[in-house]
């Protein structure tokens, strides 16, 4: 729960482009926002998302790729910075059960499909191939199993015959940017 004047401190883990991070930062600046992005960690040195963190003067770190090193350093930074929630946003590693346990705070993820459909990668190609009428995005809690934790929010779009993986990805990404901030507001 949030107390007056204190926004919950959120860490975002990224590996690349960082458009969801950018949307989260933008939303965090709204007066009604219950959270603040206080830490950004990337397992890729060239992740574009790191630039958004720098631009917004948010503490940001590239931590070397080996998972155990990443997790150990991340656990320390989470403690030091009093982080209350971790958001995975295009973070392309699967966190170990040990990390999830030791972090002892909610970890949430955004996935570009209507879970439990289409867990894993290449969701848009698979949605089109399977001729789904709808696809979308899901924000969910992270547990030991891939893309399987409790669902917080889903948003759906129609998949048209004229859609291709690229057009579908574009439509869904727009929804992701809304869904992630809404999900955070909902759970805080």
User: Hey, which residues are catalytic here?
Assistant: 111
* Token representation of residue 127: 């949605």
- What is the CB neighbour count within 10 angstroms for residue 48? 15
Instruction: Report whether 122 contacts 130 (CB < 8 A).
Output: no
CB of 4 to ligand GRF, least distance (A): 31
Interface residue with ligand GRF, options 11, 84, 112, 139 (CB under 6 A): 112
Site size with ligand GRF, rule: CB under 6 A: 13
Q: What angle do CA 32, 79, 93 make, to 5 degrees?
A: 85
CB of 20 to ligand GRF, least distance (A): 3
E strands within 122-162? 134-141, 151-158
Minimum CB distance to ligand GRF smaller for 78 or for 139: 139
Segment 124-183, which members bind ligand GRF (CB under 6 A)?
Answer: 173, 176
CA nearest 12: which of 88, 97, 101, 104? 88
Strand partners, 154: 138
Per-residue x/- marks for ligand GRF, 49-88, CB under 6 A? Answer: x---------------------------------------
Asked if 19 is part of the footprint of ligand GRF (rule: CB under 6 A), the reply reads yes
Binding site for ligand GRF (CB under 6 A): 16-20, 49, 89-90, 110-112, 173, 176
């Amino acid at each position: 729960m949030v107390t007056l004047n204190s926004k919950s401190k959120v860490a975002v883990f990224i590996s690349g482009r960082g458009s969801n991070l950018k949307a989260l930062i933008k939303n965090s600046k709204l007066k009604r926002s219950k959270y603040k992005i206080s830490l950004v960690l990337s397992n890729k040195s060239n992740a574009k998302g790191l630039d958004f963190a720098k631009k917004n003067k948010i503490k940001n770190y590239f931590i070397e790729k080996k998972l155990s090193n990443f997790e150990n350093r991340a656990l320390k930074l989470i403690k030091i910075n009093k982080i209350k929630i971790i958001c995975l946003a295009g973070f392309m590693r699967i966190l170990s059960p040990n990390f999830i346990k030791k972090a002892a705070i909610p970890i949430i993820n955004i996935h570009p499909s209507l879970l439990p459909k289409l867990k894993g990668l290449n969701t848009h190609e698979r949605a089109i191939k399977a001729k789904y009428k709808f696809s979308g995005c899901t924000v969910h809690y992270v547990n030991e199993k891939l893309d399987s934790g409790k669902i917080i929010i889903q948003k759906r779009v129609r998949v048209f015959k004229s859609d291709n993986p690229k057009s579908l990805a574009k439509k869904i990404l727009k929804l992701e940017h809304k869904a992630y901030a809404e999900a955070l507001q909902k759970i805080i």
